[in-house]
Structure 1
């Protein structure tokens, strides 16, 4: 049986650590793997030890960093989009993409959507 270390983003283990243990039990029994669940209590500990993990369940920002370090995505959410939105002022009509066609769009530095967009522009 192969030994693997699994780390999970701390904000996800806080909500339901028992669910992660059940997932590990399922994977161990169905795939012939021995998985050690490395529980991190905060992001400092998670970021310090993330490079020692074989499998990582990460938030989008950390996932992008891991991909740049050679990790490969195994699974991804389907039809879930929560990282970008278009908003309009309280007096305006409901916005759509045509409202910003050809316009300069502002963004915030160091947020995941900005980093992804800049990465895509470079490629």
Structure 2
């Protein structure tokens, strides 16, 4: 059993090295404009909007919504949760992308929060 685990660990590490090398090589083909934007692209909002959210009202936040783990399909919940966790999405550092209707963040266990984005004002 130990030999199998050792083999799988080595295989995983080697695969990661190959993937990293391929990514570095591919980046050499990227146009200069693409390299300037260091912020990673956000996933499509449908990843989050398929969750079932419940409306809430708070004194400081105003209107917001919470999706509870128990009220959602596990695999859809886990995917959305992992994206937010890996992005370190907090109330101060919310997760959203271009074209999103809401911003998303984690707080506490088994909950995903969202709040409607305010429209951008033009100067």
Do they superpose with TM above 0.5? no
Task: State the TM-score, normalized to the length of structure 2.
Answer: 0.25
Structure with the larger strand share: 2
- Of structures 1 and 2, the one with the larger relative CO (CA 8 A, separation 6+) is 1
